[in-house]
Structure 1
C-alpha cells in the first residue's frame, strides 16, 4: 500500500480496527508474534478447518504434507474469490 499511496497509507493497526469495525464478528484476524497477521472470514476459515480436521487419517508423512498444502490453497482460493472486482480493470 505504501508504494501506491505513499504517506496517505493507513497503519496496520488502523486497518485492523477498520476491518473489525466494518465486518464485526464475521472477520477473523490471526495474530502470531513475529509474523504477518492473516485475515479471513470466519465462515471461510471454519469450513476449511472442519474439512481439514475430518480428513486427518494419513498413511504417511507425504500425504499429510499434501493435505496441509491443499488446505492452505483452499483458504487462499476462498479469499481471492471473496474479493470484489470489476471486469473493466
Structure 2
C-alpha cells in the first residue's frame, strides 16, 4: 500500500486490483449451495434452482431479499430420500 502500480490506471484499464470489488458480483452464484455427504447447505438467499443429481432432488428458492424478508424454499424429488437441509 502507498505505492503506485503501473497497470492500475483508473480509466484506461480494468483489473481486480483497484479495490472496487466489482469482480465479486460475478461470483455470487458460485456459492449459493453446497453439499457434502447427505447434507445440503443453503448459503445465500438468491432466487435460484438447484438440481442435486445424486439425490434426484430439485430445490427452488424464491425471494426478493433483501427488499423483502420472505424466502420460500420448495423441494421436489422423484422418490422419497433422506438428507439434512442446512440453512445459513
Q: Which has the larger radius of gyration?
A: 2
Instruction: Identify whether the pair has TM-score above 0.5, normalized to the shorter chain.
Output: no
TM-score (norm 2): 0.22
Q: Which has the higher contact order (CA 8 A, sep 6+)?
A: 2
Q: Which has the higher strand share?
A: 2
TM-score (norm 1): 0.21
